[in-house]
Amino acid sequence: MQLRLSRMADEMRSLERDVGRWARAHHLTAATAAYDDLLIEAAHMAGLDIPDAPPAVRRLMIESALRHDGWSW
């Protein structure tokens, strides 16, 4: 799971840097949604509660909790 998170995070960073990519916003939105889904799956695997918060806040909260538990990606 950590490898999958790492790959998706790399993809998002690549999209953020590639300002000339056609339909960049669409690709970045899709990659972010996939990353969020992976984070939720990882949180379930780690036995964490899923925060009831806007997606960007939920993402930060789950990332923080997973890293606190020793996850890295």
The reported pLDDT for the residue numbered 12 is 95
pLDDT (tens digit per residue) in 11-69: 999 999 998 889 999 999 999 999 999 999 999 999 999 999 999 999 999 999 999 99
Which domain, by its residues, includes 41? 2-68
The reported pLDDT for the residue numbered 36 is 98
Distance, in Å, from the CA atom of 7 to the CA atom of 49, rounded to the nearest integer, reads 24
Number of domains in the chain: 1
**Domain-located, residue 19:** yes
The reported pLDDT for the residue numbered 48 is 97
The reported pLDDT for the residue numbered 14 is 95
What pTM did the predictor assign?
0.89
Residues 40, 1 contacting (CB under 8 angstroms): no
**Domain-located, residue 73:** no
**Domain-located, residue 16:** yes
List, in sequence order, the alpha helices (H) in 1-73: 2-17, 24-45, 55-68
